[in-house]
Structure 1
Amino acid sequence: MKHTIAIAFVILASVSTLSAQKTETTWFASFNTIGLNKRFSIHFDGQWRSGDHYSKMLTLLLRPGLNYKISDKLTVTAGYGLISGRRTISGISGYAPEHRIWQQAVYTHPLLNSSLAHRFRLEQRFISKSSVSAEQLVNDGNIYANRFRYFFRTVLPFRSVKGFSKGTFGAIQNEIMFNIGNNSGVNGRSFDQNRAYAAFGYRFGKKFDLEAGYMNQYIQGRGTAFTNNHVIQLATYTRL
């Protein structure tokens, strides 16, 4: 556990020391899995993200999907995502939708007294084209883009027990994202962003976790522009 925490600290420190436009936001997230039978389950996560300095809503994300369990170690999912994001053009602000179709595979294997999950996700993104008309933000048409995301996460119980079902834990995760194919409609680069995260939480039982943590989100913009976003996240995990 000490080695894993040290690795996470290096990731967080290396990203946060870069010079960038700095923002401070809060994310509230709910991740849910609802079992249907031995093979199929429903995935749903919803997220509310604030603007800089914890101002009004910046992003609302709703993402349902259908899981299929191939084995105890491998689950595949396909789903849809609706993302409403706040944009500002020439001083005029409003919300623009992004529609996503996504597919993923999650592979999990044992790690120490816990496990490590690897998630590989593909996204087909339909991003609204926004402009200003009559002093209002107008969305007309879409920009199409593809993105690949790799994510790993581990939950480390503070007590060494087999079959951890209740108690305090630490969580460590990282996600890196790359644009695939024509990236002119996004930032014009292959690299999109990285999210490094560490948290403390409490498992109330096999069905529910609550955690709070810090995320460093490094976002590559166009040209040499980039943003270093400091995120405080509160998240729940439900398994029904």
Structure 2
Amino acid sequence: MRCILVFCFCMISAAAANAQQTRQFSSWLASFNTVAIPKTKFSIHMDAQVRSTHEWREFQTFIVRPGLNYHVNKNMIATVGYAWVHNLRAVQDVTAYLSEHRIWEQFIVNHKLGFIPIQHRFRVEQRFIGTPVVNNNKLEKDGHELAHRFRYFLRGIVPFNGEQTFTKGAFAAAQNELFLNFANTDAVNGKVFDQNRAYLAVGYRFSRQFDLEAGYLNQYISGRGAARSTVHVLQLAGYLRL
């Protein structure tokens, strides 16, 4: 556990060290939902997100990500799902929204560190990325490239009331997610390292079923060649568990 926390801290430090490079400002709105299927070990996962472009000028990304969860036990969940990602792309100053389709698999491990709930999420994505071409001054999709990505996500919630069984009240949340490309990296940035997202938030748990939180996310992206960018994100997220 300590090694993981040190590793994530190093990734956050790396992002901060490169913050003098290209900077952008964005906002993300997200909804994460889990609906249990009665009398089974299965549940439905669904998250939806909307993200803005630099300085909130227009919409950048729409994401819809359904999945099927299998609850191995009370602390472990295996999931398989699909994601539709609609991105604003630009080629030769011509822009248009092009879709990316993903198949994804993940495994979640939950545990407690004292009274702090900790979540580890391991996700693998098969990304079908549309190849953009300019045709008659319009940006269109001409086939796709298949790329693969691994994501490791670590999140902790600190209840302000310090209760072991946290059912209602204010909390702070901290998380970090590391993205690594593998197999056909030429389809993306040509590298193993893709990006890192570090996030801090405050929120309120209204009940066992619903949380609402707002926070700051630092997204450090490694582009092709020497290209680097840091995106400063304001995020509002809701978590529904039924």
TM-score range, shorter chain: over 0.9
Of 166, 169, 181, which residue of structure 2 is paired with 1:167? 169
User: Identity percentage over the alignment?
Assistant: 45
Instruction: Quote the RMSD (CA, aligned, Å).
Output: 1.8
Unaligned runs of 5+ in 2: none
1:49 aligns with 2:51: yes
Deviation of 1:8 (Å): 8.2
1:149 aligns with 2:162: no
- In structure 2, the partner of 1:16 is 16
Deviation of 1:53 (Å): 0.4
Q: Is the 8 A contact 2:64 2:84 kept in 1?
A: yes
1:76 aligns with 2:78: yes
Unaligned runs of 5+ in 1: none
1:1-240 correspondence runs (5 A): 12=12, 14-18=14-18, 19-37=20-38, 38-240=40-242
1:160-186 residue CA offsets vs partner (Å, 9 max, x unmatched):
112101000000000001001121110
1:81-135 residue CA offsets vs partner (Å, 9 max, x unmatched):
0000001111111011000000000001111212111000000000001011111
Q: Distance in 2 between matches of 1:104 and 1:119?
A: 7
Q: Is the 8 A contact 1:12 1:197 kept in 2?
A: no
Q: Is the 8 A contact 2:11 2:196 kept in 1?
A: no
TM-score by length of 2: 0.93
Q: Distance in 2 between matches of 1:223 and 1:12?
A: 21
Q: Distance in 1 between matches of 2:6 and 2:221?
A: 23
Give SS of 1:162's match: coil
Q: Is the 8 A contact 1:8 1:172 kept in 2?
A: no
1:45-93 residue CA offsets vs partner (Å, 9 max, x unmatched):
0000000001100000000000000011110000000000001111111
**Residues paired across the two proteins, number:** 236
Report runs of 4+ in structure 1 exceeding 3 Å deviation. 5-14
1:17-55 residue CA offsets vs partner (Å, 9 max, x unmatched):
413210000000000000003410000000000000011
Deviation of 1:11 (Å): 6.0
TM-score by length of 1: 0.94
1:181 and 1:112, CA in 2 relative to 1: closer, same or farther beyond 3 A? same
Q: Distance in 2 between matches of 1:7 and 1:87?
A: 32
